[in-house]
Structure 1
Amino acid sequence: MGRPTAPGGADQPTEVFAAVGATATAVAEKPAPPPLGKGGVAIRTAGEVLITLGLIVLLFMVYEVWVTDLFSAEKQSVASDQLEGDWAKDRTLHPELVDGKAFARIHIPSFGADFNFTIQEGTGEDSLAIGPGHYKGTALPGEPGNFGVAGHRVGKGAPFNDLDNLSSCDQIVIETQTDFYIYKVLPYDDEISGWSSGKGAQPECKGVSTLRNPSITGGGPYDQTFGRKVVLPSQGDAVNPVPYKPADVLPKAQMASLLTLTTCHPQFSAKQRLIITSVLTQQVPKSQVADYGKLLTEIGGAS
């Protein structure tokens, strides 16, 4: 057989594929954008600055929320080991309080059996970078008056991140060398009316009253003491012996034994302070219950 013959009889090779681009037409290059004027340059520069600032803020947030948590976790571990060592060496009812040194633990059963942090003396940044800190000059655990404790809500371990999830009658346990002190959150302001016949009558609220004195007009010295309040940072009287009242409003022997926890509010802001106040309802010597796990069983775990 001969080769295929092209139309018209000319003897030519068969073209199987046409050459790519053989019939393409030239495309004009895209014109360059016009030069930016002074206004355009300023807008572009401002945009670049904002993007840079946004990245800096993002990196700062990552550092504050996660990196400082890692540092504080290590410091908390060291403080916890030191506290255990101190307790094993010398059992004393009232430890010597040293700035930045742990002397107690806080447990909140409703946050889980593994929630516990050492409490350091003082509320300076060095103390709070380890864990919750004791307001100097306020009562000690179990004493009449007000045991005040501050803690971070974001970063640095964030021990008090979930304080706003606490409800009235929830338990807060303070552990010392010799005892477990069980506090319960006081009624919120909207629960005061009808407390004794309402929630206050429930088993988990045993020992929790409104602290009001019905024989005194207005309710007496504790008329402003509620389980939860949000105040300005300047309102330091939240940790007074009787909250929000002058220090000498009551003789010490007539004071309730309170525990007040404070933290920033809302999250990622220091504009306000969240105040959680609880009242002592039970003291359990460690000679009766050796560890926190057994105590949880005895008191029924989370309230």
Structure 2
Amino acid sequence: MSTVAPTAPEGGGARSVVRGVGEVFITLGLVILLFVVYEVYVTDIFSAAKQREATSALDDRWGTPADPERVERFDGLDEGAGFAKMFIPTFGADYSFTILEGITEKTLEIGPGHYPDTAYPGEPGNFAVAGHRVGKGAPFNDIDLLNSCDAIVVETRYNWFVYRVLPKADEVADWAGTRAADPRCVGVSPLGAPYDKVVGQRIVSPGQGEVVAPVPGLPGAENSVGEQVTLMTLTTCHPRFSDRERLIVHAVMVKQWEKDPNNPGALPPELKETV
């Protein structure tokens, strides 16, 4: 009895190619998904542990005998050293990050980093701080939600400094008739020249480093300013999951609370503010 070899189904080769391509895409999709999970969630776990260590180290330093003159000293800080704490009350009572010196990738994996050569807390000029928006602790994940007059409270060894977000671009013209009446906006108003272009929030390109200049947007202008405004600037990537642009938040210092050595547990009332 003779036999006949089975005939391959028509189009079988094409189906194999399609199946192979599909499997490749599925594998790539899984790899990308795992990468996203790692970047968004796993790095948060690692960064949270590093942030706790930095905060503990800072608390230990603050626990050593105080300077009799109670003078803040920020000179000689090493890259990655914590020197202050930042609170944003509208983000909840548990929002607290130790600010570290420097903006290297290693430092920003621990927490918000201070731009070298910018002012320190409470100093005239621009106290500029960078932070991740997604993963690695994501301290600045929600800073796009900050509104004008929202408080950013900075704690140093001997002081509390209260900064408040400046008016946004679309609020400047009508500020006197709108937000100016809000009790939280005391000390906040559109700034005059040469700060008249400095607003509460803006989007810039990564190359616009002048946003952290003493007079944001005008590097060198500070030399002609009789008395520099005391500012704080937050910078992060924009939009989320991209570094195509930078989101910038500018705030102005409105108050300083000197810590009472006889009542070290006293907190500024701004820490109790909510949305």
Q: TM-score, normalised by structure 1?
A: 0.82
Letter matched to residue 37 of structure 2: V
Equivalent position of 1:20 in the other structure: none
Q: Which has the higher contact order (CA 8 A, sep 6+)?
A: 2
Check if 1:69 corresponds to 2:44: yes
Q: Is the 1:171–1:302 contact (alpha carbons within 8 Å) kept by the matching residues of 2?
A: no
Deviation at residue 269 of structure 1 after TM alignment: 1.2
User: How many aligned positions are there?
Assistant: 264
1:246 matches 2:219: yes
Q: Considering only CA atoms, is the larger Rg found in Structure 1 or Structure 2?
A: 1
Instruction: Give yes or no for the alignment of 1:93 onto 2:72.
Output: yes
Q: Deviations over 1:101-142 (max 9, x none)?
A: 100010001111111000010111111111000001100001
Q: Residues 253, 102 of structure 1: CA spacing in aligned structure 2 closer, same or farther, 3 A cutoff?
A: farther
Residue in 1 aligned with 2:264? Answer: 290
CA offsets 1:33-56 (integer angstroms, 9 cap, x no match): 716555444332222111111000
Gaps of 5+ in 2: 1-5
Q: Distance in 2 between matches of 1:116 and 1:154?
A: 17
Mapping of residues 4-153 of structure 1, within 5 Å? 34=9, 36=11, 38-91=13-66, 92-95=71-74, 96-153=76-133
CA distance in 2, matches of 1:56, 1:240: 41
1:247-274 per-position Cα deviation (integer Å, ceiling 9, x unaligned):
2444465210000001111111111111
Q: Matched residues in 1 for 2:58 and 2:271: separation?
A: 24
Deviation at 1:197?
2.6
Aligned partners of 2:89 and 2:272 also within 8 Å = no
Instruction: Give every structure 1 segment of 4 or more consecutive aligned residues whose post-TM-superposition deviation is greater than 3 Å.
Output: 35-42, 248-253
1:8 matched to which residue of 2?
A: none
Q: Which moved more, 1:86-95 or 1:178-187?
A: 86-95
Counterparts in 2 of 1:197-236, with a 5 A limit? 197-212=177-192, 220-236=193-209
In structure 1, C-alpha distance between the alignment counterparts of 2:243 and 2:7, rounded to whole Å: 51
Q: Kindly indicate whether the alpha-carbon contact (under 8 Å) linking 2:232 and 2:253 is maintained by their aligned counterparts in 1.
A: yes
Tell me the residue number matched to 2:233.
260
Write the letter of the residue equivalent to 2:209. Answer: G
Q: Is 1:144–1:253's contact at 8 Å kept on the other side of the alignment?
A: no
1:173–1:180 contact (8 Å) kept in structure 2: yes
Deviation of 1:94 after TM superposition, in Å, equals 1.6
Rounded Cα–Cα distance in structure 2 between residues aligned with 1:113 and 1:299: 8
Percent identity of the aligned residues?
49
* TM norm structure 2: 0.90
- In angstroms, what is the RMSD of aligned CA positions? 2.0
Q: Secondary structure at the match of 2:268?
A: helix
Q: Distance in 1 between matches of 2:211 and 2:65?
A: 33
The answer for unaligned runs of 5 or more in structure 1 is 1-30, 213-219
